[in-house]
Amino acid sequence: MSEKFELADFVSGYVAEAEDLLVLASKSLLALEASLRKGEPNPRAARDAFRALHTIKGLSAMVALEPIVSIAHRMETSLREADQGGGRLALPDLDVLLEAVSAIEQRVRAVGQGKPPAEPPPALLESLDAIKLAPSTTPAATTPAASLSFDLEPALLARLSPGDRALLHQGLAAGKRAVQADFIPSGARAKIGITITQVREKLGRLAEIVKVVPVVLPQSGAGFARDGRTPEAGASNGGAGFARDGRTPEAGASNGEERPAGLSFTLLLLTSASLQELEKVAEESGSKLRQFAAPLAPREASPPGDDPALFDERADPEAEIGASGSLRTGLVRVEISRLDDALERLSCLIVSRFRLARAVADLGATGVDVRNLTRILLENARQVRDLRAAVLHVRMVPMADVLERVPLLVRGLRSNTGKLVNLMMDSGKVEVDKAVAERLFPAIVHLVRNAVDHAFEPPAERGALGKPEEGVLSIVCVQRSNDRLELSVADDGRGVDREQVARRAGRAVPRDDAGLLDLLCLRGLSTREKATTTSGRGMGMDIVKKTALDLGGELLFRTEPGKGSTFVLRVPLTITIVDTFSFDCGGERFVVPVSMVEEIVEVDPAQIVNGPSSTSTSHENAPEPAKPKRARTGMIRRRGRALPLLSLSEVLGLPSREKATKALVVRRGGEAMGFAVHRLLGQQEVVVRPLKDALVDVVGVSGATDLGDGKPTLVLDLVALGNALLDQHPPERGAAA
Amino acid sequence: MNTLHVVFKVAGTEYALPASDVLQMDSYAGATRVPGSLPYVAGIVQIRGAVVPVVDLRMRFGLPPIERTIDSRVVVGKHGDRPVGLIVDSAREVLKLEAEQVQAPPEMVLREARGLIKAVAQVGSRLVMLLDFSKVIGEE
């Protein structure tokens, strides 16, 4: 249950992801523009752009890059309308959207260089707002709240979102005072039961918690404070908060292992209680108080501080206390393509090993003593197998690493929603393939966001219901059998109301949780009236379900009104994603990796030259268990040379009634050969699941995939098939095993 | 000892597998053939996201094929971590079998079944054959 992460690691991941999404967003917008110029709507492009922005917004909110969030949020709003409006937008609006994309790009680049992103130009935001057909549902940045000034450190001030400001303004207008409370967790305090959770709970009884900001001071000479003892620690000016004055000898004495990172929390509160009352409670919980805005009498902001505070993204103080401060040493970051490359070379090795084994067997058949060779071959087989396992192992990442960004996300959500959430994570020792991890994470983000935004009741409501004010969000990973990950995201919130969801979806009330899940996964369904900056777009659940299915897994769900809900993602630990051509052949659909195909050529049956053949081509009755069938080899001309051409349906023993129109050319060693197929369908990336079971482990089939029809489609290995065909000697033709 | 068994029919004969070895049952809507696999391997199907090979029990038993009906089922059993589906004519019963109901099959039956049958259970007036799942799926 420990979460640890490096801000620097996270930022590079964020930048990489955001850049990819931005490329997608501009591509989609350009496609949309091209269609619109022709006077055609393009709902697909609008939707793709919308999804990209939706994810950018979510990612940016996680790292608290408010300027990016505010641009992305506006873009998302107008694109959603474009999506719902069937992919229509006015052309000038597209200019604005593309300009906004480049504004985000600039800011992402700044973040990548370690600079804070600039505030978005107001003119751009205005133009984006103007795209909207409906009045804004976003927390308005132009209310009097924006002009309020607070006596807060600039760094803290910068953390106030327009929503926070609006909330504070409301409170102050209602005669409440705004108070800042600083709390420094420590091992010693934790021992006597004082943690941020308790502080929140206690203060929460007297005041409304607007925002909880974890703060860490920069350490001289180091990028990010792991150990918060800074030289300036003692020289703080009493009023400015940030808990510097709260530093006690015990804090200085503790090392990173005991209590990492001079981490403190600043709580921004609204209260009608007297300062004395509040002070008493603060005293008990070891926190310091300071009023930063009086009821209806906003004061000048304090003079700028000397050093900007850095915000540690760790969110769960309990988990940090006692967490070991081990450094990540001995790690190498490797591009995934290099790992793919290694795997591919290994596949070649495996193929040549098969051929070697066959050659040895042939040699043995001539009476030569090959016992020694056979022994070596056996050893070699074991080594190849181990090597394969090792290469696959390299691609595995611990689920703990995948989940390390979740605390940050939850922290952001906590402060945005004012809900109290205790995050419990247990990822055990489960490891998944990098490709699975990358696809899984956005789904986890959606589930967590939904839970905090929709499932948990506000603290007061929970209190009234007799529940602990702090909701529990637990994320647990378990390995099922030896190749499945089961990840559950459970909350103890309000549960999902079947009737309400059915009403909103305009469908019949589902009978069970599975039926309810189907409704929740309908695209565009939202159980919320208003969109918020975090969720409530009705986006998400369909993506979560799609993720599970794409990975070859499933999404399960159970809920109990008043008690909470649990979503379970069950997916394979490993997958391989491959770019493939799909085609029809012998009445069936197949795919073949693009990397295997050297060329696709047109086939005109009239141009096929057939040589003498001694092979029967009839495989209609009860296909035999067999090596690939020996099919009749024809020839076609290709760039002035004869290309051997085989009918793939014959090779596979499928009825071949349709005539071939295309041939897939593969190269086997130095020689090219063509496989004639009926019809080419297209090119797509697919998730390949290996067919490991001995019953279906055959030459020429490397795995199965789902092209979206719920039925498995075979992934062919035409190179292996070609090898096997050429290794078959004509004299063996009649003796199919 | 009494154990729950899933009972299914193939060509009028009743067969059973311990319920603890059965992962699930599904209707059968055709499999994707895998060229080059053994004749009794009907292909692969996708069940709850997982790709599972399926064995056509009629073919496995050397019986003539029939047109599949809405009663056709895939019974997914497991051997260790290995899930394999069996296509059966129908399946709709779960039975509790007492130890005394179960007996070794007659030698002749055993031989003719090529080891695919483990035992025979007497259920009232019916005889139910207990399958040797590992043999059926070609595990030695």
| A653 in contact with B, Cβ within 8 Å | yes
Nearest Cα to A93, choosing from A133, A52, A135?
Answer: A133
Least confident of A10-24, A61-75, A489-503, B27-41: A10-24
- In chain A, what percentage of residues exceed pLDDT 70? 74
Q: Which of A334-338, A372-376, B106-110 has the highest mean pLDDT?
A: A372-376
Q: How far apart are CA A267 and CA A299, in angstroms?
A: 19
Tell me, yes or no, if the two domains A7-131 and A144-320 fold the same way. Answer: no
**A-B Cβ pairs (cutoff 8 Å, strict):** 87
Output the CA–CA distances (angstroms, integers) from residue A214 to A5, A265, A308, A655, B53, in the order listed. Answer: 15, 4, 14, 68, 53
Residue in chain A nearest B140 by alpha carbon: A694
- Residue A684: how many CB atoms within 10 A of its CB? 15
Q: pLDDT at position B20, please?
A: 92
| A710 in contact with B, Cβ within 8 Å | yes
Mean pLDDT of chain A: 75
Set of chain A residues whose Cβ sits within 8 Å of the Cβ of B46:
706, 710-712
Residue A157: pLDDT over 70? yes
Kind and range of the H or E element at A46? helix A43-62
Residue A502: pLDDT over 80? yes
Write the DSSP symbol of residue A310. B
Q: pLDDT at position A676, please?
A: 92
Question: How many angstroms separate the CA of residue A91 from the nearest CA in chain B?
Answer: 43
Q: How far apart are CA A71 and CA A104, in angstroms?
A: 7
Residue A82: both structure tokens together: 């474009």
Residue A694: pLDDT over 90? no
Q: pLDDT at position A289, please?
A: 82
pTM here is 0.47
Reported as a pLDDT band with limits 50, 70 and 90, residue A216 is: low
Residue in chain A nearest B48 by alpha carbon: A554
This model of the complex carries an ipTM of: 0.91
Least confident of A78-87, A89-98, A212-221, A482-491: A212-221
Secondary structure of residue A107 in the 3-state scheme: helix
CATH number, span A144-320: 3.30.70.1110
Set of chain A residues whose Cβ sits within 8 Å of the Cβ of B62:
none
What mean pLDDT is predicted for residues A639-652?
A: 87
Q: Using the beta-carbon criterion (under 8 Å), do A689 and B55 form an inter-chain contact?
A: no
Least confident of A605-609, A662-666, B134-138: A605-609
**pLDDT tens for each residue of A556-600:** 999 998 899 999 998 888 877 677 899 999 889 999 988 788 889
**pLDDT tens for each residue of A508-540:** 888 888 888 888 888 766 555 444 444 444 447
The CATH fold assigned to A7-131 is Four Helix Bundle (Hemerythrin (Met), subunit A) (1.20.120)
Q: Using the beta-carbon criterion (under 8 Å), do A482 and B43 form an inter-chain contact?
A: no
In order of their start, the domains of chain B are 2-136 (2.40.50.180)
Residue B7: pLDDT over 90? yes
| A706 in contact with B, Cβ within 8 Å | yes
Please name the residue that has the structure tokens 């249950």: A1
| A618 in contact with B, Cβ within 8 Å | no
Confirm or reject CATH 3.20.20.70 for domain A398-572, answering yes or no: no
Q: pLDDT at position A685, please?
A: 73
- DSSP alpha helices (H): ranges in A254-370? 275-284, 317-320, 336-365
CATH number, span A576-732: 2.40.50.180
Q: pLDDT at position A723, please?
A: 77
DSSP letters spanning B29-92: ---B--TTS-TTEEEEEEETTEEEEEEEHHHHTTPPP----TT-EEEEEEETTEEEEEEESEEE
Reported as a pLDDT band with limits 50, 70 and 90, residue A251 is: very low
Least confident of A191-195, A291-295, A445-449, A553-557: A191-195
- Domains of chain A, by residue range, sit at 7-131, 144-320, 336-394, 398-572, 576-732
Q: pLDDT at position A8, please?
A: 56
What mean pLDDT is predicted for residues A121-128?
A: 87
